[in-house]
Structure formats: C-alpha cells, structure tokens
C-alpha cells in the first residue's frame, strides 16, 4: 500500500510543482494536473508549442498494469501511444522475454488476488479501498524497475502530443527534437554514461496497479547554466522573441491580478 513517506513525497511534489508552474507560466484557476499540457511557449510569428514542466522528481509519464487473476494473465498499457508501444516491446539485458507484461510475470509470478483495505480520509472518516491484484503483487514483492529507458522514445512521446519543450527546475529548458519556435536550447537528454537514466517503476496508487516513468538520479539529467534558473529562461526566451503562458494565447491578465504574481513577469505573455 502507499506508505506514509510516499504520501508526504507526493504532497510535497504537488506543492513544489504547482509553485514552479506558476513561476513559469503565471497563476491559473483550477488544480495542478487539470490540464494535459502544463503551459506553452509562444512566438508572435512562429505560433505556440506545448511545454512539459516540473521538478526533477516528477513523473515524466504514467501507465497502468494489471493481473487478470482468473485467467492468470499480465498486461500493461498507457494512454500515450508511443509509451504504450514501448511497454509492449521493452527488453531487459539478460532476459529473452519481451514486453513489460512478460517481465512482470517473471518477477511477480501468479496467484495474486484483489482485496480491500480501509484507509482514513482527510476528514477523519474511514473509506474502503478496492486493491487490484497487480497492486497486491507490488505490495507483497516490491517494485519492478527497468532502468535506462530510451530517451528518444520519451522525446517522441512528448512531440506527438504537441509538447515540444521541457523545463525541469534546476536543470534547463530543452526542446524535444523539432524546436518549432527555434529557441536557442539543446535537445532533452541525459549526461554521458548516466547511472540509471530514466526508469519504469510499478507501484500501488490508491489500490490501482499503476506505474511511472521517472528519473531516480537527478544528476543523470543534463544541466545548461544558461537556463538553469528563471532569470536565464527569461533571457533565452527574450533573445528568441518568445514568451510563456498558460494557454496558446498566454495567461489571462485577470489571473495575474486576482491570484497574484510575485516578481518579474516579463517572460509571460499576458492578454
């Protein structure tokens, strides 16, 4: 089940991630994660492009896995087409098996059953949670980790949904291969000889058999001193005649005024 430390980490990330998005794109009404795209880079002539933003500890993607306890069959799926296809084909050094489902079968085996558990909600009331069979396999045997996930796959998975830029706090602003706004930034990637690189990891997410694509060692990610902090991002955007915003048009002036924005907002397109 989700441990207390995991709950605290999730809450800490949600708060820190939300503040970082506000710093980049300006404030907005609504909850963190309510939009598929965190924000946009906007150029007056070249148009707009989606930006994926977050802390180094973010989930770069999420996926689901399941164990059909009646037919004893493992499976894995993702909403993103490129990631979904990767899950079906992923191979592990030293194994002849192919696909995440086969690797889960090797690790977890069979015989797992769904169950129920009781958790206490934030209002102090108990709640019954249905726990899937795959989540119980994780709870019993731990997380399956597959390291050194193909970075080109990650870039493609972002491009296919219109995310052409990635900004990771404390690292830099990247493009994912196309760079349609011609920003003076490098391609999203890792340092030479990363220790673990990107990793697929299984978990129990409130009873669901869930997985994430994450970066276990943040120093594996490239760093560009020019765009490591928000001041550098402002300079790089200004040099290309571009700005950031919450929507393809920018950030509403009413949001900037009503919700407040502290500091220099010259990098934000306001309408």
Reported as a single tens digit per residue, the pLDDT across 120-140 is 888 889 999 999 999 999 999
Mean pLDDT check: name the lowest of 25-39, 94-108, 256-270: 25-39
Reported as a single tens digit per residue, the pLDDT across 227-267 is 989 999 999 999 999 999 999 999 999 888 877 787 899 99
Provide the pLDDT for residue 119: 85
Provide the pLDDT for residue 34: 43
Cα 89 to Cα 19, 83, 103, 215: the distances in Å are 37, 10, 11, 20
Provide the pLDDT for residue 33: 44
Reported as a single tens digit per residue, the pLDDT across 196-223 is 999 999 999 999 999 999 999 999 999 8
Q: Is the pLDDT of residue 5 over 60?
A: no
Distance of CA 168 to the CA centre of its chain: 11
Provide the pLDDT for residue 262: 79
Q: Is the pLDDT of residue 56 over 90?
A: no
Instruction: Give the closest residue to 172 by CA, choosing from 80, 261, 51, 61.
Output: 51
Confidence of residue 1 (pLDDT cuts 50, 70, 90): very low
Q: Is the pLDDT of residue 35 over 80?
A: no
Provide the pLDDT for residue 30: 56
Of 108 and 57, which is predicted with more confidence? Answer: 108
For residues 180 and 46, is the Cβ–Cβ distance under 8 A?
A: yes
CA end-to-end span of the chain:
45
Cα 155 to Cα 83, 86, 230: the distances in Å are 10, 13, 23
Mean pLDDT check: name the lowest of 9-13, 68-72, 77-81, 152-156: 9-13
Task: Give the whole-number percent of the chain exceeding pLDDT 90.
Answer: 78
For 102, the token pair is 């086969």
Kindly report the average pLDDT of the chain as a whole number. 90
Query: What is the average per-residue pLDDT within 172-185?
Result: 96
Provide the pLDDT for residue 124: 87
């Amino acid at each position: 089940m989700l441990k207390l430390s995991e709950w605290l980490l999730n809450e800490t990330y949600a708060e820190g991630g939300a503040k970082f998005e506000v710093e980049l794109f300006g404030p907005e009404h609504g909850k963190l994660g309510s939009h598929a795209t965190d924000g946009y880079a906007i150029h007056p002539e070249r148009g707009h492009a989606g930006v994926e933003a977050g802390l180094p500890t973010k989930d770069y993607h999420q996926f689901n896995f399941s164990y059909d306890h009646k037919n004893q069959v493992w499976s894995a799926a993702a909403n993103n087409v490129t990631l979904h296809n990767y899950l079906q084909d992923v191979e592990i050094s030293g194994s002849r098996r192919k696909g995440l489902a086969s690797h889960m079968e090797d690790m977890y085996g069979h015989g797992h059953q769904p169950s129920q558990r009781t958790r206490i909600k934030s209002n102090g009331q108990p709640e019954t949670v249905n726990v899937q069979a795959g989540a119980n396999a994780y709870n019993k045997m731990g997380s399956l980790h597959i390291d050194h996930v193909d970075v080109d796959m990650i870039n493609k998975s972002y491009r296919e949904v219109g995310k052409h830029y990635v900004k990771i706090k404390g690292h830099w602003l990247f493009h994912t291969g196309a760079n349609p706004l011609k920003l003076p930034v490098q391609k999203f990637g890792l340092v030479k000889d990363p220790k673990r690189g990107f990793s697929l990891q299984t978990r129990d997410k409130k009873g669901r058999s869930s997985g994430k694509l994450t970066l276990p060692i943040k120093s594996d990610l490239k760093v560009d001193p020019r765009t490591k902090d928000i001041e550098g991002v402002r300079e790089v955007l200004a040099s290309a005649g571009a700005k950031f915003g919450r929507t393809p048009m920018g950030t509403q002036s009413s949001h900037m005024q009503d919700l407040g924005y502290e500091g220099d907002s010259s990098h934000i397109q306001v309408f």
